[in-house]
Amino acid sequence: MSQPAFHRILLKLSGEALMGSQGFGVDPEVSARIAQEIHEVRSMDVEVAIVVGGGNFIRGVAASALGIDRVVADNMGMLATVINALALQDALEKLGSYTRVVTAIEMRAIAEPFIRRRAIRHLEKKRVVVFAAGTGNPYFSTDTAAALRAMEIKAEVILKATKVDGVYDADPQKVPDAKMFARISYLEVLSRGLAVMDTTAISLCMDNSLPIIVFNLNVPGNLKRVVLGEKVGSLVGR
């Protein structure tokens, strides 16, 4: 088997990735499929950290627009990510992967609080670390949490899992002839306003030269192909 191109990765998963076609919550079959792909990568001796979103339950920005106080709405969204992290942990452990759920908001009965050195040690011991509750602060998305955690654990790359094949110059689900970029710079993503990750996350990655690979998680085997260094998706870098 080919050698992995990366030793330590951070996978950014949206909450919507876990709900499948049911429109809300967690679909156990979908979470099991995603867990299988993660387990295969972990079996290649790659250290895997994950940041998961909560949009399959609630989005802070959307809830705020409906009249809920923004800080309260964001706190609700962060708690939703913990539900997803526990579901993913369960699916991974059924496959034999050792995992730890690590939260930015303390809830010791079900998860560990985020302590940087401890999280790194878990990775070194070959445990999959699932980061939940975003950064623990309102007004920051899980994209920003992914960029922050990736830098804190010294990940070599952020793998941004989406439902499209990469970064396009327009929404490919609305514009049939949208062009996909094999490679694009951080500055171009920012100047074009492309929906890769939010501007704070992109700026953090740019300032710290942390590459982002955007790929389609719905294609079976894509995660493994990306980790093996195959030309899958779009690379965001300098």
Q: Residue 151's domain is classified under what CATH number?
A: 3.40.1160.10
Q: If you average pLDDT over every residue of the chain, what do you get?
A: 95
pLDDT band at 1 (very low <50, low <70, confident <90, very high): low
pLDDT of the residue at 172:
87
Question: Is 201 part of a structural domain of the chain?
Answer: yes
**Per-residue pLDDT tens digits for 68-95:** 999 999 999 999 999 999 999 999 999 9
On the question of pLDDT at 176 being above 90, the answer is no
pLDDT of the residue at 2:
80
H/E run at residue 234: strand 234-237
| Strand order across the 112-113 sheet | 112-113, 99-103, 128-132, 47-52, 8-13, 157-162, 212-216, 234-237, 183-185
Domains contained in the chain, number: 1
Mean pLDDT score, 194-215: 95
Question: Which residues form the domain of 143?
Answer: 8-237
Cα(44)–Cα(104) distance, integer angstroms: 28
pLDDT band at 122 (very low <50, low <70, confident <90, very high): very high
Beta-strand runs (E) in 41-177: 47-52, 99-103, 112-113, 128-132, 157-162, 167-168
pLDDT of the residue at 81:
97
Q: Look up residue 20 and give its DSSP letter.
A: T
Provide the CA 147 distance to its chain's centre, in angstroms: 9
Mean pLDDT score, 140-148: 97
Among the ranges given (99-103, 180-184, 186-190, 193-197), the one the predictor scored with the smallest mean pLDDT? 193-197
Smallest CA-to-CA distance from 84 within 15, 171, 33, 168 is with: 15
Contact between 164 and 151 (Cβ < 8 Å): no
Question: Is 197 part of a structural domain of the chain?
Answer: yes
**Per-residue pLDDT tens digits for 211-234:** 999 999 999 999 999 999 999 999
Question: Is 3 part of a structural domain of the chain?
Answer: no
Query: How many other C-beta atoms can be found within 10 angstroms of the C-beta atom of residue 28?
Result: 13
Among the ranges given (49-63, 78-92, 131-145), the one the predictor scored with the smallest mean pLDDT? 49-63
pLDDT of the residue at 166:
94
Cα(122)–Cα(135) distance, integer angstroms: 19
Contact between 92 and 99 (Cβ < 8 Å): yes
Among the ranges given (32-41, 115-124, 173-182), the one the predictor scored with the smallest mean pLDDT? 173-182
pLDDT of the residue at 195:
85
Residue 221, both tokens: 């085997």
Question: Is 44 part of a structural domain of the chain?
Answer: yes
pLDDT band at 22 (very low <50, low <70, confident <90, very high): confident
pLDDT band at 32 (very low <50, low <70, confident <90, very high): very high
Question: Is 216 part of a structural domain of the chain?
Answer: yes
Q: pTM for the whole thing?
A: 0.93
Cα(152)–Cα(8) distance, integer angstroms: 12
Question: Is 1 part of a structural domain of the chain?
Answer: no
Question: Is 2 part of a structural domain of the chain?
Answer: no
Mean pLDDT score, 132-136: 97
